[in-house]
Amino acid sequence: MRFFEGWVLVRTVAIVVLAALGAAVLAGCVPPRDQERLPPPSAIDLPAVSPEVALAELKASLERAITARHRGIEFPEVETVRLILPEEWAPTMRGCLDSEGFTVTETPDGGIVYPEIPEAQAASLELARYVCALKHPVDPRYSGELTEYQQQYLYEYFVYDLVPCLRSEGQDISTPPGLQRFLETWNTEDAWSPYGEVNAGSDSDWYALNETCPQNPEDPFG
C-alpha cells in the first residue's frame, strides 16, 4: 500500500487569481505562451497560517477518519516534536513508524509503502500513523489549502512547464483546461493534473519520469 501526505501527488489521482490573464483565459482558453508569468508565491505576501489551528484541524481530521474505521478506539496524548518540510515527510515517517514497531519503505517519488499486516494489527497501525503525524506534522504553509494565487501559479507550471516536459518524454497529454475550469474543479474529483494522464508503465519508469518532469514547481508555497 502506497501512502502520501503533504504536498505530494499520487500516481493515479492528482491531489490537486489575483493576476489578470485576460478575458480569454477566464472564458476557458489556455493563455498564450508569451503571457507574463506570475512571480513565485515567495515573492508576495501570503496569508499567515497558524500552526496551532492547523494542528488542531489535523488532529480532528485524523480522529474522525480513524474512528470511522475503528469505533471505540482511544487516542493517546501526543506532543509535537517539530514542523517538517514536505521533502522530510517520508524519511521522518519511516523513522517514526519504525520506532512504533512498523517497518515501511520509502519510494523515490516521496511516498511510503506499508507492509501487509494482519487485520488484528490494523488499529495499531492507524494509531502509529496518528502519533507520527502529530509528532511531525508538515508545516501548514505547505500542507494547507492553496490560495487562489498559489493555484494559479501551479496552473501556469502545469501548462507551460510540465505538459511540454511530459510530451517530450512521449506522454500523450491532452489540451489543458482553461484557468477558470481549473480553479472551479480544484479539490474535486474533476481536478486536473497532467500526471493524471500519464501512462508510465513500470514503477522504475514512473520514478524516472518524476525525476525528469517534477510533478510540482520548486516554489508552490513561498
Q: Tell me the mean pLDDT per 10 residues along the chain, length 222.
A: 38 32 39 65 63 91 94 95 92 96 89 90 95 94 79 93 96 95 90 94 90 84 56
Do residues 167 and 131 both lie within one domain?
A: no
The identity of residue 40, as a single letter, is P
Judge if 159 and 104 occupy the same domain: no
Interatomic CA distance for residues 80 and 9, integer angstroms: 25
For residues 150 and 177, membership in a common domain is answered with: yes
pLDDT for res 134: 97
Residue where one domain finishes, among candidates 103, 120, 143: 143
Asked whether residue 28 is assigned to any structural domain, the reply reads no
Q: Would you say residue 13 lies in a domain?
A: no
What are the residue ranges of helices labelled H in the chain? 23-26, 51-69, 89-99, 122-135, 140-143, 148-157, 163-168, 179-184, 203-212
By the 8 A CB rule, do 130 and 66 touch? yes
Quick check: is 102 in a domain? yes
pLDDT of residue 8: 38
Tell me, yes or no, whether 72 and 156 share the same domain. no
pTM for the full predicted model: 0.63
Q: Which of 143, 166, 187 represents a domain boundary (last residue)?
A: 143
Same domain? 101 vs 43 = no
What total number of domains does the chain contain?
Answer: 2
Residue span of the structural domain in which 161 resides: 33-48+146-212
The reported pLDDT for the residue numbered 121 is 94
Contact 128, 102 (CB under 8 A): yes
> Is residue 3 a part of any domain in this protein?
no
Please check whether residues 85 and 126 belong to one and the same domain: yes
Last residue of a domain, one of 121, 143, 165: 143
93 and 72 within one domain:
yes
Is 184 part of any domain?
Answer: yes
Whether 61 and 170 map to the same domain: the answer is: no
- CA dist 206 → 22, 61, 101 (Å): 36, 31, 30
Beta bridge partners of 105: 113
Quote the pLDDT of residue 105.
92
* 180: its cell numbers: 477558470
Examine the domain organization and report whether 56 and 116 are in the same domain: yes
Identify whether residues 57 and 137 lie together within a single domain: yes
